[in-house]
């Protein structure tokens, strides 16, 4: 009984601590908790009550602040992409990366992109579920503005590397670089999502999934490298 009382006291203290935070800080905490739950349990299986329990914020408050689970999912997806971009920024700002020519930067970015997907299958599974949610719920473009900026920010880094490659002569001048980028990015995402979902038919053998991603990168680099 004593342990139960202690647990209850800790829960009350935690909830009081959350309530004492400014609304902006509390919202960030809720999004953090939601993102973690989505990664651990899958987007479809997590309920608003689960997020309320994990964050220490009442369900009514969640709906007042975020309106719906879908909107909260958008916030969580934005946060997860922001974390991925922070990892890429660390790479871009490293001394080794800054000494590379444009072609080597492109290859390094693509391999990091693929390696991140392999190392974070929960993130890939979440993105797959999130895309389906956005389409099924008819989420409008305005609601995805911040999310889109986080996703597109990787393209900006990639484009900078390409422009450097054109300047230093290490890459070819492509007729449509944006299409090249989207084709490679979509191919990497597609393989990563299939790896995360698992084998559906016998021919879906993803034991060499990383090799498939490497093959896509190899073809892309060979296509663009001068």
Q: What is the pLDDT of residue 191?
A: 85
pTM score, whole prediction: 0.80
Distance between CA atoms of 169 and 21, rounded to whole angstroms? 53
Q: 1-66 sits in which CATH class? A: mainly alpha
- Three-class SS state of 225: strand
Range(s) of the chain covered by CATH 1.10.357: 77-224
Range(s) of the chain covered by CATH 1.10.10.60: 1-66
Distance between CA atoms of 136 and 72, rounded to whole angstroms? 16
Distance between CA atoms of 64 and 152, rounded to whole angstroms? 30
Q: 77-224 sits in which CATH class? A: mainly alpha
**What pLDDT tens digit does each residue of the chain (226 aa) get?**
334 444 444 344 445 555 556 677 899 999 999 999 999 999 999 999 999 999 999 999 999 999 999 999 999 999 999 988 888 888 899 999 999 999 999 999 999 888 888 788 899 889 989 999 999 998 988 899 999 999 888 899 999 999 999 999 999 999 999 999 999 999 988 888 887 776 666 666 656 567 888 999 999 999 999 9
Residue found by looking up tokens 């895309």 in the block: 131
């Amino acid at each position: 009984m004593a342990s139960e009382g202690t647990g209850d006291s800790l829960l009350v203290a935690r909830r009081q601590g959350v309530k004492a935070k400014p609304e902006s800080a509390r919202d960030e905490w809720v999004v953090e908790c939601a993102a973690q739950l989505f990664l651990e349990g899958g987007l479809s299986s997590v309920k608003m009550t689960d997020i309320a329990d994990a964050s220490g914020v009442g369900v009514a408050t969640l709906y007042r602040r975020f309106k719906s689970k879908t909107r909260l999912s958008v916030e969580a997806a934005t946060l997860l992409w922001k974390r991925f971009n922070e990892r890429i920024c660390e790479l871009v700002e490293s001394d080794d990366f800054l000494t590379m020519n444009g072609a080597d930067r492109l290859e390094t970015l693509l391999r990091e992109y693929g390696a991140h997907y392999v190392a974070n299958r929960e993130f890939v599974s979440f993105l797959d579920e999130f895309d389906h949610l956005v389409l099924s719920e008819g989420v409008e473009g305005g609601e995805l503005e911040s999310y889109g900026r986080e996703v597109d920010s990787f393209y900006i880094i990639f484009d900078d590397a390409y422009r450097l490659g054109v300047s230093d002569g290490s890459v070819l001048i492509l007729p449509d670089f944006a299409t090249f980028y989207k084709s490679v990015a979509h191919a990497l995402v597609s393989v990563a999502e299939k790896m995360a979902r698992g084998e559906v038919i016998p021919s879906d053998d993803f034991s060499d999934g990383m090799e498939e991603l490497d093959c896509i990168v190899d073809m892309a680099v060979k296509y663009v490298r001068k």
